């Protein structure tokens, strides 16, 4: 396994921090709703469910990033793209103490997860692919080898795209 990129580690840490914050917020709103302090209980229940589900999803994305799962990158990018307008809305509502950290973390996470080192590590699933031949194809017996042999030097006279007769 190749060494994990420091940009992936940082992006995963920031994504996890957002996930923990969302789960904490969802738990807080849930408790407030349960004890009857919510002004609008129906909306508070919705906020609780969304915050808990979103937070758990962000924690799953952070775990996927740490494991080198390429499929964790797109949801991580999406959560940050959703966080930026939320930060802007908080800024316009004079809640700078929440808006600034959220905006900075979202922008920084985007930069980190889309950086070339992160991309290189995540595209390969966090692992070295093993030996390749000189044209980059998997060595014999790899997943792309159909067992039919190569048209190159096989003497069959058949090129790519020609049917066998």
* Spatial contact of 105 and 10, defined as CB atoms under 8 Å apart: no
- Per-residue pLDDT band at 48 (split at 50, 70, 90): very high
Quick check: 32 pLDDT over 80?
A: yes
pTM score of the predicted model? 0.72
**Phi-psi region at 80: left, alpha or beta (left = phi > 0; alpha = psi -120 to 50):** alpha
Q: Is the dihedral of CA 126, 130, 135, 141 positive or negative?
A: negative
Question: Which position has the higher pLDDT, 9 or 147?
Answer: 9
The mean pLDDT value for 43-60 works out to: 96
The mean pLDDT value for 77-92 works out to: 95
DSSP classification of residue 59 = H
Q: Give CA–CA dist 117/92, Å, rounded.
A: 35
Burial zone of 126 (CB within 10 Å; 0-12 exposed, 13-18 middle, 19+ buried): buried
Which residues are CB-contacts of 127 (< 8 A; sequence separation ≥ 6)?
1, 2, 68
Q: Give CA–CA dist 16/9, Å, rounded.
A: 10
Q: How far is CA 67 from CA 61, 71, 99, 154, in A?
A: 10, 11, 30, 41
Q: Of 16, 106, 13, 98, which is closest to residue 56 (Cα–Cα)?
A: 16
Instruction: Give the per-residue pLDDT at 141.
Output: 46
């Amino acid at each position: 396994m190749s060494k994990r990129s420091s940009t992936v580690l940082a992006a995963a840490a920031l994504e996890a921090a957002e996930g923990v914050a969302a789960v904490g917020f969802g738990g807080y709103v849930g408790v407030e709703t349960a004890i009857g302090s919510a002004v609008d209980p129906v909306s508070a229940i919705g906020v609780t469910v969304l915050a808990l589900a979103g937070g758990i999803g962000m924690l799953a994305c952070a775990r996927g990033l740490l494991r080198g799962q390429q499929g964790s990158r797109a949801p991580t990018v999406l959560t940050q793209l959703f966080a930026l307008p939320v930060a802007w809305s908080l800024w316009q509502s004079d809640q700078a103490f929440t808006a600034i950290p959220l905006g900075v973390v979202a922008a920084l996470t985007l930069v980190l997860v889309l950086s070339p080192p992160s991309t290189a590590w995540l595209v390969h699933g966090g692992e070295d692919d093993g030996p390749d031949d000189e044209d980059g194809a998997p060595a014999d017996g790899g997943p792309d080898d159909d067992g039919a042999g190569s048209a190159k030097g096989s003497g069959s006279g058949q090129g790519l795209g020609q049917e066998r007769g």
